[in-house]
Amino acid sequence: MRIYVTSVFVDDQSKALDFYTRILGFKVKNDVPLGEYRWLTVVSPEAPEGTELLLEPGEHPAVQPYKTALVEDGIPATSFQVDDVDAEYDRLLSLGVSFTVEPMDAGPVRMVVFDDTCGNLIQLIEMKGG
Amino acid sequence: MFVAMNDDELDRIFRALADPTRRKIIDRLREQPDQSLFQICAMSVAEGGKALSRQAITQHLDMLQNAGLLHVSWSGRTKIHSLDLKPLREAADIWFRKHLLEGENP
């Protein structure tokens, strides 16, 4: 068994596509029309055959309360790994990304949290001494 | 007009202080105000302290808030906590200081 896809619920798939590709730097892997929505996945250019991230439409009535409650407590919906958190922080800051947690050490990781503009907080972590 | 705290309010404050985790949260918020629940949990991991669930931290924050020691505000859609030390000062004035300053004994 392997994890081939994981998802974030996004308010708007087109807006999410722009943020996750142009700002974060992911590449589109699948973009298949499915009625009103799309099966829209992105991958890291560092691992094009790796786990896909599904930009999943958040139209189910349970999604908005779930997202709202996570954001209220500042909890990220998902987490990505980078080699250098501080460098990514500077890069994303210059692209206008808004952070809710500035670079900080938390046990074995260094991390930040930012707003993906699609209703989610996203964590970036760097494994220290890794 | 100055209205002295009643016993219930003093109880809530002293009870809020009667726990090492809550005192630690106060210490942390003093060093770094304006923290979300997630950040307070992350700081506790960073300090290598006792691992606590978010639910446990939420309950501690509720007790601090009921004692009037927390100021809650919003940063966008995220709830942010900082300290409100006024009730603590008042409690110190009307109870601790009474004994410490007026006492004749060492």
Categorize the per-residue pLDDT at A130 as very low, low, confident or very high, splitting at 50, 70 and 90: low
Q: Are A127 and A82 in contact (CB under 8 A)?
A: no
Tell me which chain B residue has its CA closest to the CA of residue A73.
Answer: B37
Residues 16-75, chain A, touching B (beta carbon < 8 A): 68, 71-75
Domain count, chain B: 1
State the residue range of the domain holding A37.
5-127
Q: Looking at the domain assignment, is residue B2 inside a domain?
A: no
Helix (H, G, I), strand (E, B), or coil: what is residue B85? coil
Q: Looking at the domain assignment, is residue B1 inside a domain?
A: no
Q: A75–B54: do the CB atoms touch at under 8 Å?
A: yes
Distance between the two ends of chain B, CA-based, in angstroms?
34
Q: Which residues of B touch A (CB under 8 A)?
A: 36-39, 42-43, 45-46, 48, 54, 58, 75-79
Average pLDDT, chain A: 96
- Per-residue confidence (pLDDT) for residue B39, from 0 to 100: 94
Amino acid at A111: M
CATH number at residue B16: 1.10.10.10
pLDDT > 90? residue B103: no
Q: Looking at the domain assignment, is residue B95 inside a domain?
A: yes
Q: Looking at the domain assignment, is residue B81 inside a domain?
A: yes
Q: Looking at the domain assignment, is residue B37 inside a domain?
A: yes
Q: What is the pLDDT of residues A54-110, one digit of tens each?
A: 999 999 999 999 999 999 999 999 999 999 999 999 999 999 999 999 999 988 899
Q: A interface mutation test: which of B55, B78, B82 has the most A CBs within 10 A?
A: B78
- Per-residue confidence (pLDDT) for residue B3, from 0 to 100: 63
pLDDT > 90? residue B101: no
Q: CA A117, A118, A120 angle in degrees (round to 5)?
A: 90
CATH number at residue A116: 3.10.180.10
Q: Looking at the domain assignment, is residue B18 inside a domain?
A: yes
> How far is it, in rounded angstroms, from Cα B85 to Cα A38?
52
Domain count, chain A: 1
pLDDT > 90? residue A111: yes
State the residue range of the domain holding B90.
7-102
